[in-house]
Chain A
Amino acid sequence: MSFVPGQPVTAVVQRIEIQKLRQGNNLILGFSIGGGIDQDPGQNPFSEDKTDKGIYVTRITPGGPADVAGLMMGDKIMQVNGWDMTMVTHDKARKRLTKKNEDVVRLLVTRKSLEEAVKHSMGTYHKQ
């Protein structure tokens, strides 16, 4: 999941659609994020590449909307509703997720297991 500056980033992504849950006056998603281009990437426990300044999911509230939708801890969020999340500040990322007039957020996330799954499936194909 590291990137080469100037080259397009490619990743195997999964689409996750989260319906926000209304709690009083708030719409919550039920997870926490960490990271951002203004944060220290070395402290990110989930990233493989310790220079990765992307947005990672650090915690999922069990039973919450994100959990139900299939988001997992350690996922890296690439896109939220069409907006890129690979080069944003932490606050910008939070704001993109918590827009008041949006009921649904559609995320594109990537995780190591996805890459491996693709590699394995391609491997078996080649074996045949």
Chain B
Amino acid sequence: MPVDNYTNMEEKLWILEDLNMMYIRQIALSLQDSDIQKKIDHEIRMRDGACKLLAACSQRDQALEAAKSLQTCSTRIMAYMSELQRMKEAQVMQKVTRRSSDAGPMDDRLPCKGKVAISDLRIPLMWKDTEYFKNKGELHRCAVFCLLQLGGEIFDTDMVIVDRTLTDICFDNTIVFSEAGPGFELRVELYSCCSEDDYSAGSTPRKLASKLSSSLGRSAGKKLRAAMEPGPCSPVSNGGAAPLLLPVPSVPGPKYHLLAHTTLSLSHVQDSFRTHDLTISGNEECSYWLPLYGSMCCRLAAQPHCMTQQMMSGCLKVKVRWQQCGGDPQSWTKVYAVLKGTSLFCYHRQEDVEANIEPAFTIGINKDTRIRASEKDPHSKVQNICISNQYGGEEVTHTLTTDSREDTHRWMEAFWQHFYDMSQWKQCCDDLMKIELPSPRKPAPVTPKQGSLYHEMVIESSDDLSSTVSDILARRMQELELRSQLGTSPTWMSVFEENNAKSAGRTRHCTSRLSGHSPCTPHRLPRSPASPHRCPQLGLLSSDASLTSDSDSHCSTSPCSQHHGWPEPSSSFSLLSSSPSRLRPRTLSLDAKLSTLRGRGYGGGGAFQCPCQPPPSSLLAPLPISSRSPRSQRSTQTTLSCSSSTSSNSSSNSEGSHSPESSEGVPFSRPSPARRSLRNLRARLDPRNWLQSQV
């Protein structure tokens, strides 16, 4: 029995929908407007497709996307239908007024339309601290998206999954509405849906579902009746909670609910980011609830057409008069004038406009300009137009004249219209606001994490605009030569040299970082502002940073080499070779350090990536420099490691076991990202540093 009731209800809904459609078609036909009809048909097809997809798909995110398009289609259908209703009313009203021969203000000026763009939508969340810092427990997720409606255009943003780890809901889309009047109302609605496992209505027990559907009879029936009335009240701005004109048959699947909404208008338009208040619907008990802070941050820009398009153009003759010169007319200058934005551009010839040549001169037309038609010129019976502007205390008057009275009249009309537009669009006409259309660019293909280190050796060109790979390699070659002159040295010595070369050559921001360690801090400080320009991006050095801190400890006892730092590698090397005695005390600490590292390294993974770990031979292949003479693996490896900052990181991260010369023999594998970030953190939290990053 209950099953029958349920299916009965559904059938009734379908019938109502068909009736509605017929009604709509009638209206459209009578208005002879097939455009909206087509749009409605299109949206209905989309909606049906979304319904089918929703019923068919099993994956949660697919279902959410389908539900989102369903919501968008439904809203669009409603908007189109209400527009149809309005047009019908307008037609009827017009007939009425004509009959009563009540000449309303027919010569009312209409302001020009414009483009309105909203971008960088951001909605802050306000989680309870207990909620935000929870580490265990299920992550309660909600899928959210925004619907933006202006006039007849409705757009939706991408869907974002929100959970308690996010502090703000950010929508990256830029939405541009092309035909908006100055009295526009941009309605922003935030829909959310709980993204838990079980949301399909099909899972609710049949009995319950039928009970619910039959108990809806009263309120649903009332809504349906209201919707069916082809009266003047159109449920257009009822908010998202308004019933659909075409009742959607209930489809099992996720359903979005309105969480918050706000309406923006011309007063909110500005060329910068502003915060607006949101009206929140729903409460904590709802499944789709999110703790919104209550405001929304976005950039709302408008470009009225009077600022971007040519409002009027034609040939004119212009005369200038400066206030203090008093005196009289110079000759007329023939120009081709174009009225656009806040100026009247006067070109010598019409072709100059397309050729983008600079205009001969420009007359400002803004809210401080005064334009009037002067008395008739006795010579030609044409009225002149006088444009007065204040340029810093002085009044400058341009007098325009045309060839015929009609032209003068048209120009005056154009100026009045322009002034009217500027008065309507207010702050949008002060300066042209920029609207960027995001280029439909595919996101950069994410290189899959491959095993080979070659893929990690990215030479970020954000390093320095001037430094190229060849530069870096050339420098490396110099060092290489120097080192080969020093001859072979005990294992740890070469390790140590490598250290120096690496840290000296690798990233110059080391120098600032090392300031804390080395005794010559005051000497280093003035260098830091100069050095960071060679600093690669910090993100790039994520593991580098961690390395540096270790190399610090290694190199801490070698202030001499750090002194000269990067630009003079030769001196550092010569110092090294010339003062072996100074090295001795270092070796002890170095040995101690190495042993601890070794111990940790055997753990397999080593949180401490010993920078002295020679990179594996696998690195040799990709770089051309490997073909150079010094076959000593270590030196080549050093070269390789220094040739790009990440490679030095990856070099030490690499499998130590590959390297035949790794007498340390520690199987250093690539550290887990967690460990890398730990080292990052340590370096960055060091209060002695003042980091600089290049962006």
Contacts A59-B533, A103-B436: A39 and B689 contacting too (C-beta < 8 A)?
yes
Q: Which of A24, A90, A98, A103 contacts B691 (CB 8 A)?
A: A90
CA distance A98 to B462 in the complex (A): 11
Q: List 14 A-B contacts (CB under 8 A).
A: A25-B444, A30-B465, A34-B693, A36-B691, A81-B273, A81-B299, A82-B298, A83-B122, A90-B538, A91-B539, A97-B695, A98-B537, A98-B695, A108-B272
CA distance A36 to B693 in the complex (A): 11
- B373-424 contacts to A (CB < 8 Å): none
B22 within 8 A of partner (CB)? no
Q: Which of A43, A45, A90, A104 contacts B684 (CB 8 A)?
A: A90
Contacts A23-B461, A25-B444, A31-B695: A82 and B120 contacting too (C-beta < 8 A)?
yes
Q: Which residues of B contact A108 (CB under 8 A)?
A: 272
Structural contact, A33 and B692, CB atoms closer than 8 A: yes
Structural contact, A101 and B172, CB atoms closer than 8 A: yes
Contacts A40-B688, A82-B120: A91 and B460 contacting too (C-beta < 8 A)?
no
Minimal Cβ-Cβ distance residue in B for A62: B465
CA distance A44 to B525 in the complex (A): 10
CA distance A100 to B687 in the complex (A): 30
Q: Which residues of B contact A79 (CB under 8 A)?
A: 273
- A18-54 contacts to B (CB < 8 Å): 23-26, 28-36, 38-40, 43-45
Instruction: Given contacts A40-B690, A59-B694, list 20 more A-B pairs with CB under 8 A.
Output: A15-B272, A26-B462, A28-B695, A34-B691, A34-B692, A35-B690, A39-B689, A40-B689, A44-B690, A58-B529, A58-B532, A59-B529, A59-B692, A82-B122, A91-B539, A98-B539, A98-B695, A101-B438, A103-B436, A106-B299
Minimal Cβ-Cβ distance residue in B for A31: B695
Minimal Cβ-Cβ distance residue in A for B535: A32
Q: Which residues of A contact B460 (CB under 8 A)?
A: 26
Q: When each residue 304-317 of chain B gets 1 if its CB lies under 8 Å from chain A and 0 otherwise, what string results?
A: 00000000000000
Q: Which residues of A contact B688 (CB under 8 A)?
A: 40
Q: Which of B439, B443, B539, B689 contacts A94 (CB 8 A)?
A: B539
Contacts A26-B460, A79-B273, A82-B122: A32 and B297 contacting too (C-beta < 8 A)?
no
Q: Which residues of A contact B462 (CB under 8 A)?
A: 23, 26, 28
CB distance from B392 to the nearest CB of A (A): 14
The 10 closest A-B pairs by CB, nearest first: A82-B273, A43-B690, A34-B692, A97-B695, A32-B694, A29-B695, A94-B693, A23-B461, A82-B297, A32-B532
Q: Which of B465, B538, B684, B689 contacts A64 (CB 8 A)?
A: B465
B355 within 8 A of partner (CB)? no
Q: Which of B122, B436, B532 contacts A59 (CB 8 A)?
A: B532
- B504-560 contacts to A (CB < 8 Å): 525, 528-529, 532-533, 535, 537-539
A2 within 8 A of partner (CB)? no
- B168-203 contacts to A (CB < 8 Å): 172
Structural contact, B694 and A31, CB atoms closer than 8 A: yes
CA distance A33 to B439 in the complex (A): 28
Q: Which residues of B contact A95 (CB under 8 A)?
A: 539
Q: Which of B122, B299, B533, B690 contacts A39 (CB 8 A)?
A: B690
B434 within 8 A of partner (CB)? yes
Structural contact, A24 and B461, CB atoms closer than 8 A: yes
CB distance from B159 to the nearest CB of A (A): 16
CA distance A106 to B430 in the complex (A): 19
CB distance from A15 to the nearest CB of B (A): 6
CA distance A61 to B272 in the complex (A): 26
Contacts A40-B687, A82-B299: A58 and B443 contacting too (C-beta < 8 A)?
no
Q: Which residues of A contact B533 (CB under 8 A)?
A: 32, 59, 61
B271 within 8 A of partner (CB)? yes
Q: Which residues of A contact B539 (CB under 8 A)?
A: 91, 94-95, 98
Which secondary structure dominates chain A's binding surface? mixed
CB distance from B665 to the nearest CB of A (A): 36
Minimal Cβ-Cβ distance residue in A for B693: A94
Structural contact, B538 and A91, CB atoms closer than 8 A: yes
Q: Which residues of A contact B537 (CB under 8 A)?
A: 94, 98
Which secondary structure dominates chain B's binding surface? loop
Contacts A38-B685, A44-B690, A101-B443: A106 and B273 contacting too (C-beta < 8 A)?
yes
Interface residues on A, range: 35 or more
Minimal Cβ-Cβ distance residue in B for A98: B695
Structural contact, A61 and B529, CB atoms closer than 8 A: no
Q: When each residue 116-147 of chain B gets 1 if its CB lies under 8 Å from chain A and 0 otherwise, what string results?
A: 00001010000000000000000000000000
Contacts A61-B533, A64-B465: A34 and B690 contacting too (C-beta < 8 A)?
yes
CA distance A82 to B460 in the complex (A): 28
Structural contact, B525 and A34, CB atoms closer than 8 A: no
CA distance A24 to B297 in the complex (A): 32
Q: Which residues of B contact A104 (CB under 8 A)?
A: 434, 436
Q: When each residue 664-695 of chain B gets 1 if its CB lies under 8 Å from chain A and 0 otherwise, what string results?
A: 00000000000000000000110111111111
Structural contact, B532 and A103, CB atoms closer than 8 A: no
CA distance A29 to B533 in the complex (A): 13
Minimal Cβ-Cβ distance residue in A for B434: A17
Q: Which residues of A contact B436 (CB under 8 A)?
A: 103-104
Q: When each residue 450-481 of chain B gets 1 if its CB lies under 8 Å from chain A and 0 otherwise, what string results?
A: 00000000001110010000000000000000
- A76-105 contacts to B (CB < 8 Å): 79, 81-83, 90-91, 94-95, 97-98, 100-104
Minimal Cβ-Cβ distance residue in A for B439: A103
CA distance A106 to B435 in the complex (A): 12
CA distance A82 to B172 in the complex (A): 13
Contacts A24-B461, A34-B532, A101-B172: A58 and B684 contacting too (C-beta < 8 A)?
no
CB distance from B92 to the nearest CB of A (A): 46
Most buried by B among A28, A31, A36, A45: A28
Q: Which residues of A contact B273 (CB under 8 A)?
A: 79, 81-82, 106
Most buried by B among A32, A40, A103: A32
CA distance A103 to B533 in the complex (A): 22
CB distance from A56 to the nearest CB of B (A): 9
Minimal Cβ-Cβ distance residue in B for A29: B695
Q: Which residues of A contact B690 (CB under 8 A)?
A: 34-35, 39-40, 43-44
Q: Which residues of B contact A106 (CB under 8 A)?
A: 272-273, 299
Minimal Cβ-Cβ distance residue in A for B525: A43
Contacts A32-B535, A61-B465: A45 and B529 contacting too (C-beta < 8 A)?
yes
- B296-333 contacts to A (CB < 8 Å): 297-299
Q: Which residues of A contact B687 (CB under 8 A)?
A: 40
CB distance from B369 to the nearest CB of A (A): 24
CB distance from A77 to the nearest CB of B (A): 10
Minimal Cβ-Cβ distance residue in A for B168: A83
CB distance from B525 to the nearest CB of A (A): 7
Most buried by A among B298, B465, B693: B693
Q: Which residues of B contact A33 (CB under 8 A)?
A: 692-693, 695
CA distance A104 to B434 in the complex (A): 11
Minimal Cβ-Cβ distance residue in B for A104: B436
Q: Which residues of B contact A23 (CB under 8 A)?
A: 461-462
Q: Which residues of A contact B297 (CB under 8 A)?
A: 82
CA distance A100 to B358 in the complex (A): 36
CA distance A39 to B691 in the complex (A): 7
CA distance A64 to B466 in the complex (A): 11
CB distance from B654 to the nearest CB of A (A): 23
CB distance from A87 to the nearest CB of B (A): 13
Minimal Cβ-Cβ distance residue in B for A39: B690
CB distance from A79 to the nearest CB of B (A): 7
Most buried by B among A31, A38, A82, A106: A82
